[in-house]
Structure 1
């Protein structure tokens, strides 16, 4: 707890040296002034079938405080200012497995998991009409930079970005991201990509994200990201919803990624195209998807940064060289029977994977998720989630994974 107190004092020092008052947190929406307290008890265990491979996982308790201000007026007409801050802390409750689990920081030399770790940051923001400039810690939702809440503490980014709501249809975001704080590290570090055992670092990400609403049914997005010294990424996505009846709708997603190296340090030439068709009827949702990697394996950045923009993003990625993958997902919301209870089942199959030695490979993954948010007034904010994953691969390591999260969120 001493580390948490130190982190809180450091965040407090930022606030005391500022003339701004009030902060609030949200990943993508900055609204009225409030605090958010989050508690997360996370048990994660990955059991590999080969006895020679050490099992991974840990049991940890996290406590996080997010504070985001409402905007305050300034002497300049229509220019408003605000300040956000965050402090995250987690402590390991389980014994040290002496193996990197992608959840807790790991010392490769001593082969030990950290007893605890912390994250903290602050963001200065300016608003003029429907335009917002932010500098400092960023919580981003783009193809290369998303917030990962799948383990314990949240990942975040350091940089500057500008959001403009041009009109009700068009939104534009541009930015420069200099550092990332991955889910299992304390500090903000440079982006990096490891190829053939060699880690290559980048001085930062420059990006443009354009989102356009053609009508109530059709939305589009174009994204361009330049990771200096590594690669350029182009992304185009379309999302269409066709209402078939009062409680029946068909949602279609088409996504295309194109990553090319900048010719300096790494070799990357890959495309990813995916289609997902989802039928929603009352509380039921059934989706069928296809995704193909064309060329090299898709460049997943170091730090376990996820790509949830993918049509088929799983625990194991399904983004290997020349891989074709198919998946079926079914979800049911029990709101008419047990309010707060949701279930998801997903099965994925990937084949035509090209391995380094020239062999072909194939993989399957089954994922089951059950989540329940308590509805009783005195227990509001308390939730539990269980996730089971079974992964099988022809050439590689099969495993089974269990995750249990007990969470509590309180805004005040």
Structure 2
């Protein structure tokens, strides 16, 4: 396993080696003057109540995330360095004997650890319109995405390059080798789901992505990912935006195709997904509606460390990623600024999934209802202080009947503030 200390030391050595070949005085000027420093605080409470059981989960914790993001040296190849830490402290012992995916779990002690710390460093190299980042990465791409749904954020180790030499085209390429899950302080090799078999760990995820804005209104994307000896992934996306009178309308189509790769550690993989979504925003009102259909006999493959696939338009607490599943979803959001309460926002969302393929069971379906209230203090001494309440109600039915212990109600309450230095 690649531990945070190892990752940090490697990037520190690389950084100082490069600076040893440069004019130090010129290098440090822009490197420090253009740097950004911040401390992000998040108080996070989560509780999940499984109906008709005594298996409820939850935790209350305080998180601290510090970031130093340097500028770039004034050299032909510009150099920068980002450093960061994430620390979480559990504030109560309630439910600490149960795994809730928010805190690191000690399997030998049979309970969650009181606190844990994640460290990371990223070396940045820039030449004209090309930038390379090596070390701790925070990707938001169709092949890999961070997870910010609990206290601390999922991160990855690897290398990622972006080039913008061609007008309106961004080319991305690279390789991810390890994942640092939201509830873990160690980097682990990438594999599928909850697999604990080291022989099924992949050596890395290689990728290339093309994002092209054909016009100011119409954009397209193609991404390819290869999780060595596990799967290959193709992603195609297209979106069109139009202003109709006072309403902003956007149509978004997305397609995924997964199949096995190389030695196929997990056997054959046959999963496809096609989604279509329309959104309309008029003043304080936003409405979103969409459908998504999975084909093939397998679920969309998900990675270890609870890695999400947020490019699936119906992604949510239940995920709606299952084999052959047909999902329709709708969202309504209202911004209370015009009603005299700036900073307050209400979001209602409903998702309905059916036709799920489970051998031997018919009429499988699942639904989710979300209520989200956000408030950010708009001015005054507490400007920027944020609050969020997220209420989730999940219902799952397999074989045309209720399944005891699967339906749940979950509440997440967060308070957030960022100090910028």
Q: TM-score when scaled to structure 1?
A: 0.90
Question: Which stretch shows the higher mean deviation, 250-259 or 189-198?
Answer: 189-198
> Given the alignment of the two structures, is residue 302 of structure 1 paired with residue 273 of structure 2, yes or no?
no
Corresponding residue for residue 338 of structure 1: 341
Q: Answer yes or no: is the 8 Å Cα contact 1:23–1:82 preserved in 2.
A: no
Quote the residue 1:201 is aligned against: 201
- In structure 2, relative to structure 1, the CA distance for the partners of 1:195 and 1:69 (3 Å cut) is closer
After superposition, the C-alpha distances for 1:209-245 in whole angstroms (9 at most, x for unaligned) are: 1100011111111100000111000000111111111
3-state SS in 2 of match to 1:353 = coil
Give distance in 2, aligned partners of 1:348 and 1:23.
49
Mapped partners of 2:237, 2:219: distance in 1: 8
User: CA-to-partner distance for each residue in 1:320-351, whole Å, 9 max, x for gaps?
Assistant: 11110100100111222211111111000010
The answer (yes or no) to whether the contact 1:23–1:34 under 8 Å persists in 2 is no
> Shift of residue 195 of structure 1?
7.9
* 2:47 corresponds to: 45
- Residue 108 (structure 1) shift: 2.5
Give the strand-richer structure, 1 or 2. Answer: 1
Shift of the alpha carbon at 1:201? 1.5
SS in 1 for 2:188: coil
Superposed counterparts of 1:2-401, under 5 Å: 14=12, 18=16, 19=19, 21=28, 32-51=34-53, 54-74=55-75, 78-97=76-95, 98-194=97-193, 200-245=200-245, 247-262=246-261, 263-266=263-266, 267-295=268-296, 296-336=298-338, 337-395=340-398, 396=403, 397-401=406-410
The whole-number CA distance in structure 1 between the counterparts of 2:373 and 2:264 is 46
The alignment's TM-score, normalised by the length of structure 2, stands at 0.88
Task: Say whether the 8 Å CA contact 1:22–1:67 is kept in structure 2.
Answer: no
Contact 2:38 2:418 in 1 (8 A): yes
* RMSD value, Cα: 2.3
* Cα distance, 1:127–1:376 mapped onto 2, change above 3 Å: same
Q: 1:23 to 1:138 in 2, by over 3 A?
A: farther
For 1:28, the equivalent position in structure 2 comes to none
SS of the residue corresponding to residue 110 of structure 1 reads: coil
Is the 8 Å Cα contact of residues 89 and 119 (structure 1) preserved in structure 2? yes
Q: How has the CA–CA distance of structure 1 residues 361 and 411 changed in structure 2, closer, same or farther, with 3 Å as cutoff?
A: same
Could you say if the C-alpha distance between residues 252 and 270 of structure 1 is closer, same or farther in structure 2, counting changes exceeding 3 Å? same
> What's the CA shift for 1:120?
0.8
Counterpart CA distance in 1 for 2:196 and 2:204 is 21
Shift of 1:21: 4.9
2:189 partner SS: coil
Question: Contact conserved, 1:61 with 1:93, CA < 8 A, in 2?
Answer: yes
CA contact (8 A) 1:96 1:112 kept: no
Matches of 1:23 and 1:181, distance apart in 2? 31
| Deviation of the 1:146 alpha carbon | 1.3
Gaps of 5+ in 2: 20-26
* 1:359 Cα deviation from its structure 2 partner: 3.2
Task: Return the alpha-carbon distance in structure 2 between the equivalents of residues 272 and 73 of structure 1.
Answer: 46
Quote how far apart the aligned CAs of 1:168 are.
3.3
- Structure 1 counterpart of 2:24: none
1:357: Cα distance to partner?
Answer: 3.4
Gaps of 5+ in 1: 1-5, 25-30
Q: Which residue of 1 is the match for residue 22 of structure 2?
A: none
1:33 touches 1:68 (CA, 8 Å); kept in 2?
A: yes
